[in-house]
Amino acid sequence: MKIGRNDLCPCGSGKKYKKCCYPKTFEDKSNLKDYNTEYDYDYEDVDEDELLGSLENFNDQEFMFQIMNSLHKMTLDRKSHIKEYYKIRKMHSDIVNTMVRYHENGKFEQRIDNSHVYKDEHLLNNKEKLTFIDSSFDLDTREGVQALYDILIYKISPNINCITENFIQSHRYRKPEKVEFLHSMLDSTIGLFEIIKTDFDEGYVYLKEIFTGVEYKIVDVALSGSQIHDDFYMYTRLITYHDISFNTGLSLTFDKKDSFIKTHIKTNKKDYKPEGELLRFIQLYNYFSKNPNKLKMLVNTIH
């Protein structure tokens, strides 16, 4: 007798199979790994035919989607550019974790230099040029933590210092690759992107920045397997190191049909200025954090 995921578990626990013995059974077969480690992985021991054969017992759409994503990852992880991508992500993760501890230990003070405003008589007399930004980051949410540390770690505005800049100036790292990577972080770009296309076989995602029209090719194993990328915009930061580009942890998604995002794009396209990114950042975060109807995507969340 075939056991469905929603059937009672045959072990007699009274729980559904998917909540009881099934995860243990499948975990033994899939041997999935944590991709945030620095090691390369060998999946030769994974029997993909056996894995696919086990799917005949289930017809849960979400389950099937997750399994296909897992198989997709196992295939991509053998490719040289994906292995290099994981090494770079590991270095990025190590550096960012060090920066977070640096801030938590009270070693970084963010300063805003507004001296040019008070010295510029034209700005003082033109109130439309002065915009006061109001926002608070909910640190009980993932997007709140990501937004706060994006502003602390990266150069969000010319007149605001950041931890990356601090690490470079203080010669925090001696290894050339880490020094070089700090400069890649400092030169990173943030913006609102539309996904032009995806490359399922190579793990690439092609993006176009809404306001500048600049196009990028990034590695994103999970998003390259998504089938709904035409429906949303993504606000995120991109880092490029050794010809490999990827997006950081910050990722705010907006439904293209949402009236707020339509108005936001229309308003900012009229008078787009790169130095206005901090204001756009806060506007998008404020809306995203308070919007009860956030766009939910069924994608593999492991990058």
Tens of pLDDT, residue by residue over 258-275, are 999 999 999 999 889 888
Integer CA distances (angstroms), 117 to 120, 123, 130, 201, 300, in order? 5, 6, 9, 51, 46
In the chain, the amino acid numbered 242 is H
CA neighbor of 32 nearest in space, from 83, 69, 82: 69
Longest pairwise C-alpha distance within the chain = 82
Surface-to-core class of residue 8, CB atoms within 10 Å of its CB (0-12 exposed, 13-18 middle, 19+ buried): middle
Asked if residue 241 has pLDDT above 80, the reply is yes
How many alpha carbons lie under 13 Å from residue 204 in its C-beta half-sphere? 15
- Report whether 135 contacts 146 (CB < 8 A): no
Structure tokens at 152: 């602390």
pLDDT of residue 171: 96
- Report whether 279 contacts 137 (CB < 8 A): no
Tens of pLDDT, residue by residue over 80-118, are 999 999 999 999 999 999 999 999 999 999 888 876 544
From CA 157, how far away is CA 154, in angstroms rounded? 9
Q: Which of 131-135, 157-161, 225-229, 234-238 is the most confident on average? A: 234-238
Rounded to the nearest integer, the mean pLDDT of the chain is 79
Pairing state between β 189-199 and 244-255 = unpaired
End-to-end CA gap in the chain: 37
